[in-house]
Amino acid sequence: MYDLLFVGGTLVTGNKNQNIISNGILGVSGSKIKLIGEVPKDIDDLPQAKKIVELNSEIVMPGIINTHCHAADSLFRGLVENMSLEDWLQDVWKAEKAILTPETTLLGSYLGLAENLLAGVTTVVDMFWYPFETAQASIDLGMRICTGGIFIDFPGVGDRTHDQYTYEASDFCSKFQNSEIVFPAVMPHATYTVKPEHLKDAKKIADDYNAVFSTHAAETRFEQNDIKERYGRSVIRHLAHLKILDEKAILAHCVHLDDYEIDLLKERRSIIAHNPLSNLKLGSGIAPISNLLERKINVTVGTDGAISGNDLDMWLSMRLAATLPKGDLMKPDIVTAEEVIGMVSLNAAEALGKANEIGSLEVGKQADLIIISTESIHAVPLFDPITHLVYSTAKSDVKQVFVGGRQCVKDGAIVNINMDDILSEVRKLRDPILKSLE
Ligand SMILES: [Zn+2]
């Protein structure tokens, strides 16, 4: 007997072959998928289950994986506008330093992670000042998270030293190294904010714990010139020189790359977290993802924080990932919808080293799945579920979300915590946040 049985609907499995099963059936026992196939012709052949979820025209797909976010920055959404990354960061850091404590970080994390979860994101890679609080918010919401200690070389939020960051990063990895829901990472901010020795310290901790290593890289032309001036090497060359580039490195942005850097990324099998909305809004540019994909480099998709892109909407990020290269290069047949589905599911799971556990609807994997309504005006008639998902689906179409077989979003609402309480606490921060830039 299954604990949970989904009967009907279209299963977009997201597996290697991107199989689609119309009128599908999916059985869950405990946290894992134990059955996947077509609804039997004879209703008497339907397996037994403690709970049956009947579906009609809905699409079921793997939970989306957002590979670059700063969830708690949702506290500052809309505060800093119309600036390039370098000027923008000065204001962001000023506001963050004035407002953020472990407590306000927890609140902001609930806010940003809940927005992700409601949109069908079941795993988030998140870089932020207080990783234990970010992880706690994620655990409370019932999601998976990949996060961990940050590194930055100036007195940022909490005025911590390099030794303190080092301790925190190790402590976080040690605490969560066997967790199924918190995937430890080490997250130095960037090559322009963390000196080479400190980047190497961060990489050593990541290697010691077999953790993900993630940093911002090659986001702007200014950054590339700055690093060339300081070290005589461009950003990706610099990371390669420091022996930091490998298959555990998730590099956020990679907008400005030359051919040699692309070769390096290919050779070291590093992963790109592509954040098209943030790159557009900060005027950073358009990442050359069709070129990267052609070279079989693993490109995944992120939202970045709501203080840069103002919106934690992976559906919009997916649409931009698919359409920007087409318009930019005037080639309508590059970066297909299938590729983009792979970028937010199985390829992203591979980036986290978790492809055996999450990222597709397959027997033996965790039951991380989302149910998308196709009742809206923009979904009728529906010819192809994949193009519908990438080009037409809105985050409000996501109605149910399950993580490890446990329901986290029901009828478009968060299940596990009272978001009204969180929102009323966040509203109290509005005035202090506004004053933080004075
Ligand atoms: Zn970022």
The string of pLDDT tens digits covering residues 65-93 is: 999 999 999 999 999 889 998 898 999 89
Number of domains in the chain: 2
pLDDT digits (tens, 9 = 90+) for 1-30: 999 999 999 999 999 999 999 999 999 999
Span from the CA of 59 to the centroid of ligand 1 (angstroms): 31
Residues 331 and 272 in one domain: yes
Which of the listed residues 305, 324, 351 is the one where a domain comes to its end?
351
Residues 191 and 270 in one domain: yes
Residues 177 and 243 in one domain: yes
Span from the CA of 272 to the centroid of ligand 1 (angstroms): 12
Q: What is the per-residue pLDDT for 200? A: 98
Residue 343 included in any domain = yes
Span from the CA of 376 to the centroid of ligand 1 (angstroms): 33
Average pLDDT over residues 195-216: 98
Span from the CA of 216 to the centroid of ligand 1 (angstroms): 6
Average pLDDT over residues 427-437: 95
Average pLDDT over residues 283-305: 97
CATH code assigned at 376: 2.30.40.10
pLDDT at 328 over 90: yes
Which of the listed residues 324, 351, 378 is the one where a domain comes to its end?
351
Residues 247 and 282 in one domain: yes
pLDDT at 438 over 90: no
pLDDT digits (tens, 9 = 90+) for 96-110: 999 999 999 999 999
CATH code assigned at 130: 3.20.20.140
Closest CA to 166 of 179, 181, 153: 153
Span from the CA of 273 to the centroid of ligand 1 (angstroms): 10
Residue 53 included in any domain = yes
Residues 121 and 47 in one domain: no
Residues 45 and 97 in one domain: no
Residues 109 and 22 in one domain: no
Contact 62, 368 (CB under 8 A): yes
pLDDT at 43 over 90: no
The mean of the pLDDT values for the chain is 97
Dist CA 245 CA 263 (whole Å)? 12
Span from the CA of 368 to the centroid of ligand 1 (angstroms): 25
Contact 389, 341 (CB under 8 A): yes
Span from the CA of 86 to the centroid of ligand 1 (angstroms): 13
Residues 69 and 53 in one domain: no
Residues 15 and 80 in one domain: no
Q: Annotate 146-176 with DSSP letters as a single string.
A: EE--EE-SS--GGG--HHHHHHHHHHHHHHH
Provide the domain limits for residue 408. Answer: 2-62+367-414
Average pLDDT over residues 419-429: 97
Residue 183 included in any domain = yes
Span from the CA of 265 to the centroid of ligand 1 (angstroms): 19
Q: What is the per-residue pLDDT for 121? A: 98
Residue 234 included in any domain = yes
Span from the CA of 70 to the centroid of ligand 1 (angstroms): 6
pLDDT at 326 over 90: yes
Residue 98 included in any domain = yes
Span from the CA of 107 to the centroid of ligand 1 (angstroms): 19
Span from the CA of 27 to the centroid of ligand 1 (angstroms): 37
Residue 358 included in any domain = no
Q: What is the per-residue pLDDT for 37? A: 97
Residues 84 and 129 in one domain: yes
Span from the CA of 171 to the centroid of ligand 1 (angstroms): 23
Average pLDDT over residues 390-411: 98
Span from the CA of 4 to the centroid of ligand 1 (angstroms): 37
Span from the CA of 371 to the centroid of ligand 1 (angstroms): 28
pLDDT at 275 over 90: yes
Full-model pTM: 0.98
> With bands split at pLDDT 50, 70 and 90, how would you rate the model's confidence at 239?
very high
Which pair of structure tokens corresponds to residue 74?
């949702």
Residues whose CB is less than 8 angstroms from the CB of residue 361 and which lie 6 or more positions away in sequence, other chains included: 11, 12, 13, 14, 15, 26, 33, 36, 60, 61, 62, 369
Closest CA to 248 of 218, 276, 216, 211: 211
pLDDT at 409 over 90: yes
pLDDT at 233 over 90: yes
Span from the CA of 287 to the centroid of ligand 1 (angstroms): 14
Residue 425 included in any domain = no
Dist CA 390 CA 324 (whole Å)? 13
Residues 70 and 133 in one domain: yes
Q: What is the per-residue pLDDT for 405? A: 98
